[in-house]
Structure 1
Amino acid sequence: MGYGIDSAEWPTGIEVPSPVKQLIERFYQLLDNSDPEIGYLLAGEIFADNGVAYFGATPFSGTEEIRNSRVNAWKVISMRKHEVLKVYLCDKNASDLLFTARVAMGLTNGRNVEGEFTGRLVIADPQTASPKLLLYQVWGDTSALVNALREG
């Protein structure tokens, strides 16, 4: 493991399978990469064909929408770094996870913001070598970002 999940606190008593942890790690590596082709990698490597990704309040459903979901992701952001803080299991097979995390962002106007958020990951085939995300949804206070964009 490494990027973004090293310091995370994982559940005790029920083991989250290594492929699920690797999926989460790879997911955040991709989200923090500004390459314009990242949407294709998210759609191919991370999400199931019928997956849904809520990036902010907007849902992107299925392969084609997820492929195109990152087109404007870096319009006002110059740097992004996610860090998972704590993971909670909602079931015994690790197919439904809640988590808390932190994100730090550098903005194109020179401002920097960071904050914590909460999210949910629903995972297809969590007990296999190749799990995929069925759902990614997050909730957080975006006022610091909105204010930093307004001030810049």
Structure 2
Amino acid sequence: MSQESAIWPQGMPPEKSALLLKLFTILDDSSDDSGQRLADQVFTSDGRIKNGTHVFSGTVEIAGSRKRAWDAWSTRKHSVLRVYSRSQEAADDILFLGSLAATFPNGRSATGEFCARIIFGFSEAQETRIKSFEVWADATPFVTATMKD
């Protein structure tokens, strides 16, 4: 997860920026337990992930969301470019721009940008978690890279 050049809104609570970075670190990890770590460490028990037509709601679905996630990818590296919030008081609902660089089993690679919205909430233990994560992206560079000649 790259964030060296990310632009964050003034007053962004450090626990929220750390959680955003943890989210992408786990999404970029092909370990078998990555889905369970998302469910246990990142999302609320009623959390929701929506990426295109893929929707995962609640602990069980989020824990299982990564089972086939690496079927089409060899490597993935997300980068946060810029994070926006309506105000310092509204840092519980953010939009951000990011990029994803990936390689595929066929040896090709691609990079594309995405936009996402995160709504923060709290775990049962009152720890900051993500309640909703919705992503919008143009998959064309990735689809093109996986196509056969």
Normalised TM-score (structure 1): 0.90
Offset at 1:10? 1.0
The runs of 4+ residues in structure 1 deviating greater than 2 Å are 3-6
Q: How far apart are the structure 2 equivalents of 1:149 and 1:22? A: 32
Offset at 1:93? 3.6
- Measured at CA, do residues 108 and 56 of structure 1 come closer, stay the same or move farther in structure 2, by a change above 3 Å? farther
The one-letter code sitting in structure 2 at the alignment partner of 1:114 is: T
The one-letter code sitting in structure 2 at the alignment partner of 1:51 is: G
The aligned counterpart of 2:114 is: 117
Contact 1:90/1:98 (<8 A) preserved:
no
The aligned counterpart of 2:78 is: 82
Q: How many residues align?
A: 146
Q: How far apart are the structure 1 equivalents of 2:28 and 2:35? A: 12
The aligned counterpart of 1:23 is: 19
Q: How far apart are the structure 2 equivalents of 1:4 and 1:123? A: 21
Determine whether 1:107 maps to 2:104: yes
- Over residues 12-71 of structure 1, what are the superposed CA-to-partner deviations in whole Å (9 max), with x where a residue is unaligned? 3xx110100110111111000000110000000000000001244311000000000001
The aligned counterpart of 1:60 is: 56
The aligned counterpart of 2:8 is: 10
Offset at 1:150? 1.4
Gaps of 5+ in 2: none
Q: How far apart are the structure 1 equivalents of 2:52 and 2:31? A: 19
CA RMSD of aligned residues (A): 1.7
Q: Point out the more displaced range, 129-138 or 42-51.
A: 129-138
Offset at 1:132? 0.3
Give the secondary-structure state (helix, strand or coil) at the position aligned to 1:151. Answer: coil
Gaps of 5+ in 1: none
The one-letter code sitting in structure 2 at the alignment partner of 1:32 is: D
The aligned counterpart of 1:71 is: 67
